[in-house]
Structure 1
Amino acid sequence: MPERRKARTGTVSGLALMTGATAMAAVGGGHHSVFATILLALLALGMAHAFTVEIQRQAHRRTGRWDRHDVINIALLAGWAFVALTIAALPYPSFSVRVLSLLLTFSYTAACAYFVAERRRAIAGAVRAPAPSASVMSESSPV
């Protein structure tokens, strides 16, 4: 069933940022207890799932073409990947923060590729399935 919601710009980027920030808090947040670290890691995994679902929802919208919202979503995800790579390249963070930053870089890059692939698939599906004609709709409606 195609998604009927309107295009949104901030949801994909916001979920990406919240997922990365939660994972960063779990890894480099200071002196957490083991329970707090595990809880933050599980929260980050749940947010990663919500992030993936939101990418699918935004990619499978009804519009049959690329929109400016799509370009903005890709640009924001690419920007977060660049920021994560920059953090990994800095000499100041700890080793665990650098490793997580590299993991986030690859994850955000994969999210960009996934969004593009899903959006292209949705657009190709919209082109293949023609809209019902007005005569078919008028015959089935009771008057």
Structure 2
Amino acid sequence: MEEGFAQERRKPRVGTVSGLALMTGATAMTAVAGGHHSVFATILLALLALGMAHAFTVEIQRQAHRRAGRWGRHDVVNTVLLAGWAVGALTVAALPYPSGPVRIMGLLLTFSYTAACVYFVAERRRAIVAPASSATSSVSESSPV
């Protein structure tokens, strides 16, 4: 596969992508929403959210680069859940009663979830097309002209 991505052999999963998305967003919200946190606790929560964001990105890559050669039910569910988290974060940012930092974090999470959704769809489509195009090129290379 291109760019060093190996195809994942695991079965498709739904809970890991959505769960990591929710945990990352909730940790980030907790870091900015808790007004009584010490500076150390806020920094620790922010670093935890960054680490979870990395795990979230890696899980998106794993789910996108599975061996299944077609777009499946799990892919649709993952896409819908990521889009749903983006809408939920936008709703929090649009409500009139959250504080300024919570609204800003809601907007950042909206952007992040939308980017994750687009990234998942793009990577999954690339993973589906790559084996078909490599099989076509290997057939054309092996046939005598």
Using the size of structure 2 for normalisation, the TM-score is 0.88
Partner residue in 2 for 1:61: 66
Identical pairs, percent: 79
Equivalent AA in structure 2 for residue 46 of structure 1: G
1:83 lines up with 2:115 in the alignment: no
Instruction: Structure 2 unaligned segments of length 5 or more: list them.
Output: 1-5, 136-145
Residue deviations 1:46-90 (CA, integer Å, cap 9, x gap) = 000000000000000001100000000000000000000000000
- Determine which of 14, 21, 26 is the counterpart of 2:19: 14
Distance 1:129 1:54 in 2: 25
Q: CA deviation at 1:30?
A: 2.8
Equivalent AA in structure 2 for residue 35 of structure 1: F
1:29 lines up with 2:37 in the alignment: no
- Determine which of 109, 113, 117 is the counterpart of 2:114: 109
Distance 2:105 2:81 in 1: 19
Equivalent AA in structure 2 for residue 129 of structure 1: S
Q: CA deviation at 1:126?
A: 1.8
Instruction: Structure 1 unaligned segments of length 5 or more: list them.
Output: 131-143
Distance 1:111 1:13 in 2: 11
1:125 lines up with 2:130 in the alignment: yes
Equivalent AA in structure 1 for residue 24 of structure 2: T
Retained in 2: the 8 A contact 1:56–1:118?
Answer: yes
Q: CA deviation at 1:29?
A: 1.8
Partner residue in 2 for 1:99: 104
Q: CA deviation at 1:129?
A: 3.3
Partner residue in 1 for 2:53: 48
Q: CA deviation at 1:2?
A: 1.1
* Count of residue pairs brought into register by the alignment: 130
Distance 2:15 2:133 in 1: 30
1:72 lines up with 2:77 in the alignment: yes
Greater Cα radius of gyration, structure 1 or 2: 1
Large movers: runs of 4+ above 4 Å: none
